[in-house]
Structure 1
Amino acid sequence: MTSQENTVGSLIDRLGGGAVALARLCSIVPFVYLFVYVGGAFLIPKSAGPAWVWLQRGVVSAAILCLLILFLQHPRPESRPAGLTHAMAISFMLALPAIVTSFWPGVFGALVTPLLVLCSALWGKARRD
């Protein structure tokens, strides 16, 4: 095993491993890329502007889609790995990178997974009571 593979494995372990790490990365990467997006906007030629905007929109869309798939794989709170509920619940913050590019489907899409997580938690609590 190379040191690079060991570092990536260590990072995934620190993020919670497996689905939890993926959900956390889906929330982190669009924000980190937001800084690249804003900084790069000053450096790219004007003709590449629309492609640059759509690249940020694609990053946000991929994160939202990934979180939705994770929810569909783990719909019940009791079947989720520890930390996954929190990682999916805070994904409403993806609305900010979507707002920066005026990507309104992304703004509304960023609210879907947290609402599904909330509804599943309320449903599970109602079933237990």
Structure 2
Amino acid sequence: MTSQGNTSGSLVDRLGGGAVALARLCSIVPFVYLFVYVGGAFLIPKSLGPAWVWLQRGVVSAAIVCLLVLFLQNPRPESRPAGLTHAMAISFMLVLPAIVTGYWVGVFGALVTPVLVLCSAIWGKARRA
């Protein structure tokens, strides 16, 4: 029989561990929560509608901020853990959960980290050339 701690630890390991796992979760959780958001929208009372929308916006905002902090901690591609560049580059997926709630700050914010990752990769290649 396995303990709960071992199960969650192996999940983090399967996601790449440490910063890579966090970046992947920041890209996956808001996207998956989108299904909860849409399904719950039919079940909650109309008076809780604005709070429900802002909850999804909060999830997207937290993911964007977390990815930005991860980029600021690892700005150079050569010093990033393996897989972190890819995990941060695919964070453009956060655009969809932001669009569904009409959160235009989130739409543009979701594109910041992938653009920064692209710019840092170009800068790194130009510096090595």
TM-fit CA distance, 1:3: 1.0
Q: Is 2:7 aligned against 1:7?
A: yes
* Alignment partners' CA distance in 1, 2:120 and 2:92: 16
Equivalent residue for 1:32?
Answer: 32
Listed one character per residue, the Cα deviations across residues 10-46 of structure 1 (whole Å, up to 9, x for unaligned) are 0000000000000000000001100000000000000
* Alignment partners' CA distance in 1, 2:29 and 2:119: 26
Give the TM-score normalised by structure 1.
0.98
Listed one character per residue, the Cα deviations across residues 41-92 of structure 1 (whole Å, up to 9, x for unaligned) are 0000000000000000000000000000000000000000000000000001
Structure 2's unaligned 5+ residue stretches are none
Give the TM-score normalised by structure 2.
0.98
RMSD (CA atoms)? 0.6
Equivalent residue for 1:63?
Answer: 63
Paired-residue identity, %:
89
* Alignment partners' CA distance in 2, 1:57 and 1:83: 27
Structure 1's unaligned 5+ residue stretches are none
